[in-house]
Structure 1
Amino acid sequence: MQGLGVVGGAGQTRERRTNMPVPVSGAAASGGSGIVPSAPVTVITQPVSTDANPRARAWGYLTEVLSRAGLFYETLPASQVESLFRRAKSVVILAGDLPLTQPQRAALAQWVKEGGALIGLGGASGLEEVFGVAGGIPVAEGWIKVTAGEHPLTAGLRSSLHVFGGRALKKSSATILAELQTGNGISKGSAILENRFGTGRTVLLGPDLLFSIVHIQQGLRVLQDGRPAPDDSAPVNEGLLKTEDGLVLDWQRDRSPVPPDGGPLFLEPISDELRELILRSVFHLARQQAILLPVLWYWPRSLKAVAQLSHDSDGNDPQKAAALLEVMNRSRLKSTWCILYPGGYPVEFYRTLVEQDFEVALHYDAMTGGEHTAWSRDNFLFQRRWLMKEAGLEQITTNKNHYLRWEGRLDFLRWCESAGIASDQSRGPSKKGTIGFPLGGSQPYFPLDDEADSPRFLNVLEVNLLTQDLVITCPPEYGQPLLDSAARHHGVAHFLFHPAHILKPGVADALAGLVDYGRRQGLEWWTNRQIWQWEMARRSVEARFHSGNAITLRAAASLPQATLLLLRSHPASCALALNGRPADPKPWDLYGFEFDALTVDIGDEIRVQTI
């Protein structure tokens, strides 16, 4: 599934599993105003030649950012921007620095002047006056430096905000919220600006956030060793190709020292905060322009985040596996067991895992270099078939590569997609100095195949790994700040504990302590399959927006105890009705924006209305 579906406006959403357009019905009543009900967010798209901008292939990633965040949106080609005058109020986002025609620019300018809300990404798209800027210069790489630390768009951001591409801008009438600096700390111009134009509002995010997110998550093509950290904390040039060899972050500016030993970690998830800059811009303008904005929260039961433990079966020692299973059962949680070829565990152990609701996953070995353990698609498929037969499985949902092996860029994810592996968790650290978020953030995501003739989303949910084996790989004290970072950004805190180490001094206690800490922070511990199942069900939800103040939701798959947020346009909570009955919303704060939160079971259809 790609986006959260929208029914009732003129436009299209795209469905993630097939990447085929989903037609949008115009059946919703528009009343007598002549205004067509529509989604609260509209994405303006336009084909852009990579000859003009090689980063433009990533601009379609905006829909993944919005879908993961639980925002309902519609896409609208730039050729139809004049239809905005006939549609209900929405926040309009330009999906990149678009080469709009003069009539298109004039229509958007007039629409904003009459009260519209517009967000620009990666450049002004020829609307400099609307955004309150006077030109700018292209930037290959830089870091956003917040200058308005109390503003809702920028308050509380902690990461280095490393970005790639876009423009550093020169202000005219706009208010500057952040500057764009180069690696030597010199400001190249403004990065984030807001402006009032007529009765409308705009936000311009100068850096190419969409390309930056994709570039950080998917990295460089891995054909040789990566560049090691100059302080010897991350010797990634050991001759084994792996996911870290493609990382694009900076060893000095993007890591932070962490107690007790001051080890430098990628502690702050940069791509999460780049996503949040887009989301905060939407919330800010929607609140200012009093747009009814629902958000289908990431997790059920008002959870702030979830956590996951996975176990790679290196060595396939059944006694150590049994010892780890005992630790897991004492801790009362289910986890994901990634099984390494050859050998594996006794059939009875697989049966026990399945009966007790643990997940059995693949641990693809392309490191050993044997007949079936070298890097190739055929070997990957062979190992998948082997595990399904050995464990008596009809399907395998999850894979993690042994040693986090990786070659190329997206090739392996295409293998997973064609084999029916629905989720991968190979992207993460193998060295102490790359612990944390070296390849993205805490948010699970669908990768963008920007190498295809027509860029498309790969139907493989990537769930990043934070670290492996507290006590063995790093001090156990690293666990809490890493979990805190994932929780702060409402994603997944994913830790790996090998059965091979569970009997070593301190490891079982570190695992149990981490689990207890996560629960005290309000997180639940899920298997990777649970994460994938919830995300797929959540993204099946469709919304119909009715005139003024009502939304109808339905889900292709049942979504029990979902958390639905509605943005407040003023401090006081408004009265809500759920299926015609008064509802009792709870206050909810997200990035400093106030929402009303409802817990709802989304199935065939529910209706939420402000009254």
Structure 2
Amino acid sequence: MKMARLGVLLDQKTADNRWKYGINVFENYYKEILAHAGIPFQSLDHVNQLEESSLDILIVALEADDEQTASSIWKFAESGGVVVSYGGLSRMAKKLGCTLRQTAAAGYADVSDMSKISEKLRYLKVTPWKVSEVDTSKSVQASGALHHNQPTGNVLGPVKLSFPIGKGSIERFAVHLIESIAGFQQGTQPVLKDGISAPDGTGDIIDDVLKADDGFEMDWEWDRGATDKGTPYFSTPYADLWREVCISHLLKVTVARGLTLPFLGYWPEGISQVAMISHDSDLNEDTNAETTLDVLEQAQVKTTWCMIEPGYSPYIYERVKRDGHELAFHYNAMSNDNGQWGEEEFLRQKQWFHDATGIEVVSSNKNHITRYEGWGELYEWCETHGVLSDQTRGPSKKGNVGFIFGTCQPYFPIAWWNQQNRIYDLLEIGFLTQDMDMGKWADSDVIDPFLTQVKRVQGVAHFLFHQYHLHYKEEVRAAFFTCVNKAKENGFTFWTGKQINDWVRARRKVTIKEVTAGGQIVIDNKGDAASLVVWVPVADDQANDSTERWEEKFGVKCVKKVL
């Protein structure tokens, strides 16, 4: 099959005009969504580039609101191209026989008729269209249903409308999908004050401490499940599932036109999903570290040790390194702990870490107490001073454990409008919960549902266990072994934060260049990623006739290539 040429239009002039007035262009996050999937694409910053691009599929991330743009997009579809939009194309509504409805805030989408996702997916913004009764054509296909405000709310319209245009089509999602993914992962506003606590008292985030979870976009009522013991948890990785809806749709429309759109496997051959355990040294008692090292040796797992000043005795660091664990940074911005929020203090503590541990490159950081404020200041400090990844985005209370940021995927965050919504060179690896079965935190019954959801999207199941509690609390040690054993039984491979960062960065330097007539994959592997998996989508009949092994990925049959 011929490899499809995918392009993304983000009109530069329109983006510049938004930035001029302090408006975010989160549509720019398409770069991260496609890069995360390992799908090759071209970027277009003006519709005039479309004619010379020879594209097969065009994602319209942000378009100019003028007739020239609308006309060029229409002609592209008419001549055989596929146009995909997530909440845009407003100027084209009337021509497509639709009326534009008012943009609505958060709600839930039923996508069960267009995917294998049975639960309703929360969205953050939607601009639905209504197809005119007079102009309704049997060839216009409507998929999914948008529910206002809550999963059983009034239906606002379909999730997606597909319009046949000449030899091609226009595929318009009403959901602002790209913005929703970014919003779940990072919130939609800077953290400037305490957030809203859970009505049932299980997540009291109003505590006069600014934290990552003071800016999240889940609903306390509709987005939590509960364990048999009654502990609530955020149950669904909405951002990851919306990624799947996005990628699945692209693959399906490609294959339907006799083309293929190859993409990279998330992990190297032999690994399906990853588990990670980190520890925060906090009170820095050597005995706690010794117990933890013994426990890890018994469990046969390598973990990430986030060190806070003043740290352990030197012999502890030597054993941590000798046993194959990662020494990482634990930045303290808590004023009652003699810390403060600021780049100068971040740098001072980081220098202490280098001096104390002898580690030259900081592969991982996690902020103490998940302390966080503003938008991307922490990420800028990490970029500037050579910290490669962060683990701060996680729960700070018993009642908000789980997928509070809608994801278990490692991802690169997006900047605020004042930096033109660039993508930070900093990998985020959030965590799900910490120190189970000690009363203050969740019970270990959350382990099974967490592992099930992470396995479903091939993400990272990141659990935090403090050395202090592993030493003093037998129930936490028992929960630790339960977590490790269940993860291994479910096919998880344990990696440290450094291993995850190194792999993701190497994988991101791989570009799929071509699929030859003989089915060979041509790639540019600048990161020297080893045991790389490439999936090549094929039509059902081709998969059945192929002698090569295939699996279903994103709802499409794909031939597996290991390079």
Superposition TM-score, scaled by structure 2 size: 0.91
* Equivalent pair of 1:190/1:206 in contact (CA under 8 Å): yes
AA matched with 1:267: S
Q: Distance in 1 between matches of 2:8 and 2:347?
A: 39
Q: 1:546 to 1:506 in 2, by over 3 A?
A: closer
Aligned residues: 546
| Equivalent residue, structure 1, for 2:480 | 511
Question: Residue deviations 1:245-265, cap 9 Å, x none?
Answer: 111221112222x32123321
Q: Distance in 1 between matches of 2:545 and 2:384?
A: 48
AA matched with 2:561: L
Q: Distance in 1 between matches of 2:18 and 2:553?
A: 36
Deviation at 1:77, TM superposition (A): 3.0
* Equivalent pair of 1:72/1:543 in contact (CA under 8 Å): yes
* Equivalent pair of 1:119/1:281 in contact (CA under 8 Å): no
Question: How is 1:566-581 mapped onto 2 (pairs within 5 angstroms)?
Answer: 566-573=536-543
Q: 1:370 to 1:506 in 2, by over 3 A?
A: closer
Over aligned residue pairs, what C-alpha RMSD do you find? 2.4
Higher mean alpha-carbon deviation, 62-71 vs 276-285, is at 276-285
Match of 1:383 among 324, 345, 349: 349
Question: Residue deviations 1:16-48, cap 9 Å, x none?
Answer: xxxxxxxxxxxxxxxxxxxxx986321122132
Uncovered stretches (5+) of structure 1, i.e. residues with no partner: 1-36, 577-583, 601-611
Question: Residue deviations 1:358-393, cap 9 Å, x none?
Answer: 11001111125355x122221111111001101111
Q: Distance in 2 between matches of 1:198 and 1:586?
A: 36
Q: Distance in 2 between matches of 1:103 and 1:547?
A: 36
1:466 equivalent in alignment to 2:427: no
Q: 1:325 to 1:443 in 2, by over 3 A?
A: same
| Equivalent residue, structure 2, for 1:328 | 296
AA matched with 1:449: A
Match of 1:193 among 144, 161, 166: 161
Superposition TM-score, scaled by structure 1 size: 0.84
Q: 1:38 to 1:46 in 2, by over 3 A?
A: farther
Question: Residue deviations 1:79-114, cap 9 Å, x none?
Answer: 335426x62x63221113x22543443333233233
| Equivalent residue, structure 2, for 1:351 | 318
Match of 1:252 among 221, 246, 257: 221
Deviation at 1:157, TM superposition (A): 4.4
AA matched with 1:247: F
Q: Distance in 1 between matches of 2:377 and 2:4?
A: 35
| Equivalent residue, structure 2, for 1:16 | none
Q: 1:133 to 1:316 in 2, by over 3 A?
A: farther
| Equivalent residue, structure 1, for 2:390 | 424
Question: Residue deviations 1:469-528, cap 9 Å, x none?
Answer: 121211111112112111111111110011111131222222122112212222201001
1:561 equivalent in alignment to 2:525: no
* Equivalent pair of 2:437/2:443 in contact (CA under 8 Å): yes
1:90 equivalent in alignment to 2:56: yes
Q: 1:547 to 1:129 in 2, by over 3 A?
A: farther
* Equivalent pair of 2:535/2:558 in contact (CA under 8 Å): yes
| Equivalent residue, structure 2, for 1:605 | none
Question: Residue deviations 1:520-545, cap 9 Å, x none?
Answer: 22220100111110011001112323
Uncovered stretches (5+) of structure 2, i.e. residues with no partner: none
AA matched with 1:423: S
Match of 1:167 among 111, 117, 127: 127
Deviation at 1:181, TM superposition (A): 2.4
Match of 2:550 among 553, 574, 587: 587
AA matched with 2:534: L
Q: Distance in 2 between matches of 1:238 and 1:63?
A: 36
Q: Distance in 1 between matches of 2:467 and 2:340?
A: 24
Structure (1 or 2) with the greater helix fraction: 2
1:155 equivalent in alignment to 2:122: no
Deviation at 1:139, TM superposition (A): 2.0
Q: Distance in 2 between matches of 1:408 and 1:169?
A: 35
Q: Distance in 2 between matches of 1:479 and 1:368?
A: 33
Q: Distance in 1 between matches of 2:536 and 2:184?
A: 31
Q: Distance in 1 between matches of 2:75 and 2:372?
A: 50
Give the SS at the match of 2:260: coil
* Equivalent pair of 1:143/1:180 in contact (CA under 8 Å): yes
| Equivalent residue, structure 1, for 2:363 | 397
AA matched with 1:387: F
* Equivalent pair of 1:117/1:289 in contact (CA under 8 Å): no
1:107 equivalent in alignment to 2:77: no
Q: 1:238 to 1:556 in 2, by over 3 A?
A: same
Q: Distance in 2 between matches of 1:122 and 1:53?
A: 21
Deviation at 1:394, TM superposition (A): 1.1
* Equivalent pair of 2:44/2:50 in contact (CA under 8 Å): no
1:540 equivalent in alignment to 2:509: yes
| Equivalent residue, structure 2, for 1:579 | none
AA matched with 1:595: C
1:304 equivalent in alignment to 2:272: yes
Deviation at 1:554, TM superposition (A): 2.2
* Equivalent pair of 1:44/1:92 in contact (CA under 8 Å): yes
Higher mean alpha-carbon deviation, 389-398 vs 453-462, is at 453-462
* Equivalent pair of 1:99/1:126 in contact (CA under 8 Å): no
Give the SS at the match of 2:336: coil
* Equivalent pair of 1:39/1:72 in contact (CA under 8 Å): no
Q: Distance in 2 between matches of 1:55 and 1:163?
A: 20
Structure (1 or 2) with the greater strand fraction: 1
Question: Residue deviations 1:404-448, cap 9 Å, x none?
Answer: 011212111111111111100001101111111112301111111
Give the SS at the match of 1:449: coil
Deviation at 1:566, TM superposition (A): 0.3
Question: Residue deviations 1:179-225, cap 9 Å, x none?
Answer: 22222612223322223333323321112112222222222322221
Deviation at 1:575, TM superposition (A): 8.4
Q: Distance in 2 between matches of 1:234 and 1:77?
A: 44
| Equivalent residue, structure 2, for 1:285 | 253
| Equivalent residue, structure 2, for 1:28 | none
Q: 1:470 to 1:370 in 2, by over 3 A?
A: closer
* Equivalent pair of 1:302/1:563 in contact (CA under 8 Å): no
Match of 1:205 among 158, 173, 182: 173
| Equivalent residue, structure 1, for 2:100 | 136
| Equivalent residue, structure 2, for 1:271 | 239
* Equivalent pair of 1:309/1:497 in contact (CA under 8 Å): yes
AA matched with 1:225: D
Q: Distance in 1 between matches of 2:408 and 2:161?
A: 27
Higher mean alpha-carbon deviation, 585-594 vs 531-540, is at 585-594
Give the SS at the match of 2:318: helix
Question: How is 1:211-226 mapped onto 2 (pairs within 5 angstroms)?
Answer: 211-219=179-187, 220-226=189-195
* Equivalent pair of 1:112/1:197 in contact (CA under 8 Å): yes
Deviation at 1:53, TM superposition (A): 9.7
AA matched with 2:198: A
AA matched with 1:262: G
Give the SS at the match of 1:115: coil
Q: 1:82 to 1:481 in 2, by over 3 A?
A: closer
AA matched with 2:7: T
| Equivalent residue, structure 2, for 1:444 | 410
| Equivalent residue, structure 2, for 1:42 | 7
Q: 1:414 to 1:39 in 2, by over 3 A?
A: farther
Give the SS at the match of 1:138: coil
Q: Distance in 1 between matches of 2:431 and 2:280?
A: 12
Deviation at 1:574, TM superposition (A): 7.9
* Equivalent pair of 2:333/2:371 in contact (CA under 8 Å): yes
Q: 1:492 to 1:53 in 2, by over 3 A?
A: farther
| Equivalent residue, structure 1, for 2:142 | 176
| Equivalent residue, structure 2, for 1:9 | none
* Equivalent pair of 2:4/2:254 in contact (CA under 8 Å): no
1:123 equivalent in alignment to 2:88: yes
1:374 equivalent in alignment to 2:340: yes
Q: Percent identity between the aligned chains?
A: 28
